[in-house]
Amino acid sequence: EYKLGKRVLCGVPMKDGIKENGKFPEPIITPSTKAENGDHDEDISREDILARQLVAPEVYAQMEQYTHALFQRGTEMAAERGLILVDTKYEFGLNNGMVTLIDEIHTPDSSRYFYADGYEDRQAKGEAQKQLSKEFVRQWLIENGFQGLDGQQMPFMPDDFVQIISERYIELYERITGLTFQKSDTQDIIARIEQNVNAYLQKS
């Protein structure tokens, strides 16, 4: 949207001359909510959220506080592993009136990571950044004519590309956690799923 000339994103003003993959002086928050028609995310500003009374002002303030704190901690943890936490998504809900973080956090599905090594050099040369995220999967889908629109059919994903996806996710897991990923035995995956579901039900 910035490339198309837009200079206000979710109520946040943008300066001219921002370089792709460059760092903002301070992290920005770009809220979204579910659209009234359909289940897709809809960009929205802080002002619109409060004007439409989607949440109370004190609730939104709490979400903002949590968002900044989470991103700061995630940035620090990524830096310790030679990575840059570029952007991410946090989802919040209310549980007994308390603002509660839900869904995954700082995973490849919700975040983008760049390699810190060589970042400045690639930026100076105008080169694409080396990254660990699902972004390359999204780009592959777009290149193969799929953007999740109504009527579009999911393209066949070849086994060798699926293997590349798995390897990238494993690399990110190992980089972030410092642990060696242990591959599970998937020969009888149905029995494993049933066992896990039954174990959960017995606890409930």
Q: What is the pLDDT of residue 132?
A: 83
Residues facing 129 on adjacent strands: none
pLDDT of residue 157: 93
d(CA 45, CA 31): 6
As beta bridge partners, residue 83 has 115
Residues lower than pLDDT 50 in the chain: none
What is the pTM assigned to this prediction?
A: 0.80
Q: What are the distances in angstroms from CA 129 to CA 14, 44, 88, 113, 115? A: 22, 28, 17, 10, 8
Strand 8-9 and strand 12-13: the pairing is antiparallel
Per-residue model confidence (pLDDT) at position 34: 76
User: What's the pLDDT score for residue 148?
Assistant: 81
Q: Is the sign of the CA dihedral 53, 56, 62, 66 positive or negative?
A: negative
- Angstrom distance (rounded) from CA 12 to CA 22: 16
